[in-house]
């Protein structure tokens, strides 16, 4: 298991709440459904924390709030000591700036990649958004990113449909690394892969964390996988954190 760091947290989440307005089963009246209920945790700099829990326990909603895809009802999020005000709307400029600190990898890379774009232009676009690199420096960085996720350079000219699920997920990881983030949120990122591909991508992620120092917030329902990649775990149930501890390698 990786070493637990003693550094200041890169991410602190405190008292996070998300209420949804939902229509009652009968009639037109609405009621409030609390999907995330007073969730607090810290992710150490360069560390790895898993959020586990049964379906509907509020894991994805918490992650989406942290990366700014959704607004919280209440709570505080600090990244590297800076308050991000999760209850407020995020401006386009702040969104880009935050993208340089935190990136998310989703379960289904096929949906998160543009199927009309080649892999090379997808990575180049991420570099254009998140860096000031000139064209030739970007081309070199695209090559570096592909080798970092152990993909052949020829893949740069391929489209997502020409790749396997594991290759597509490697591309999604490379794209998220283009921003050189401090935190990678991986939401069931291995769930759509077969067991041997999962093992390869897990090893890749462990290497990426070791070589770049990026911290992982790893959302999963699969405890054996979590035990291989994360230092600590929180368990969510009905929107609440019901257990916390160090992860166990199975």
Task: Give the residue with the Cβ less far from ligand ATP, 102 or 146.
Answer: 102
Task: Give the residue with the Cβ less far from ligand ATP, 7 or 69.
Answer: 69
Task: Give the residue with the Cβ less far from ligand ATP, 22 or 137.
Answer: 22
Please report how close the Cβ of residue 59 comes to ligand ATP at its closest, in angstroms: 4
Binding footprint of ligand ATP on the chain (CB under 6 A)? 20, 22, 33, 35, 53, 55-61, 221
Task: Give the residue with the Cβ less far from ligand ATP, 59 or 138.
Answer: 59
| Alpha-carbon span 219 to 185, nearest angstrom | 8
Please report how close the Cβ of residue 20 comes to ligand ATP at its closest, in angstroms: 4
Please report how close the Cβ of residue 107 comes to ligand ATP at its closest, in angstroms: 8
Return the CA Rg of the chain: 18
Residue owning tokens 């992710």:
43
Question: What burial letters (b/e) apply to 44-62, b meaning 16+ CB within 10 Å?
Answer: bbbbbbbbbbeeebbbbbb
First to last CA, the chain: 11
Task: Give the residue with the Cβ less far from ligand ATP, 56 or 224.
Answer: 56
Beta-sheet pairing, 183-187 with 102-105 = parallel
Nearest by Cα to 15 from 80, 79, 76, 60: 76
Cβ burial of 33 (10 Å; 0-12, 13-18, 19+) is: exposed
User: Are the C-beta atoms of 221 and 167 separated by less than 8 Å?
Assistant: no
Please report how close the Cβ of residue 60 comes to ligand ATP at its closest, in angstroms: 3
List the alpha helices (DSSP H) in the chain.
59-66, 92-99, 109-112, 119-130, 135-148, 165-177, 195-212, 223-229
Please report how close the Cβ of residue 239 comes to ligand ATP at its closest, in angstroms: 7
Please report how close the Cβ of residue 22 comes to ligand ATP at its closest, in angstroms: 5
Please report how close the Cβ of residue 240 comes to ligand ATP at its closest, in angstroms: 12
Task: Give the residue with the Cβ less far from ligand ATP, 9 or 53.
Answer: 53
Task: Give the residue with the Cβ less far from ligand ATP, 30 or 96.
Answer: 30
């Amino acid at each position: 298991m990786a070493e637990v760091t003693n550094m200041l947290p890169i991410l602190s989440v405190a008292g996070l709440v998300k209420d949804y307005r939902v229509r009652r089963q009968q009639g037109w009246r609405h009621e409030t459904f609390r999907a995330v209920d007073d969730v607090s945790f810290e992710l150490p700099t360069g560390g790895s924390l898993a959020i586990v829990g049964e379906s509907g326990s509020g894991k994805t909603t918490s992650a989406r709030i942290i990366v700014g895809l959704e607004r919280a009802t209440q709570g505080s999020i600090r990244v590297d000591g800076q308050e991000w005000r999760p209850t407020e709307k995020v401006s386009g400029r702040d969104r880009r700036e935050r993208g340089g600190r935190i990136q998310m990898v989703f379960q289904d890379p096929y949906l998160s990649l543009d199927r009309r774009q080649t892999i090379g232009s997808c990575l180049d676009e991420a570099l254009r958004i998140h860096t000031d690199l000139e064209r030739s420096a970007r081309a070199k960085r695209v090559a570096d990113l592909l080798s970092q996720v152990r993909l052949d350079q020829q893949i740069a000219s391929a489209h997502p449909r020409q790749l396997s699920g594991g290759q597509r997920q490697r591309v999604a990881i490379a794209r998220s690394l283009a921003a050189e983030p401090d935190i990678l949120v991986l939401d069931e990122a291995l769930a759509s892969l077969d067991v041997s591909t999962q093992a390869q991508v897990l090893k890749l992620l462990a290497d990426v964390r070791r070589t770049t120092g990026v911290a992982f917030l790893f959302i999963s329902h699969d405890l054996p996988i979590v035990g291989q990649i994360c230092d600590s775990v929180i368990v969510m149930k009905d929107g609440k954190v019901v257990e916390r501890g160090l992860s166990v390698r199975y």
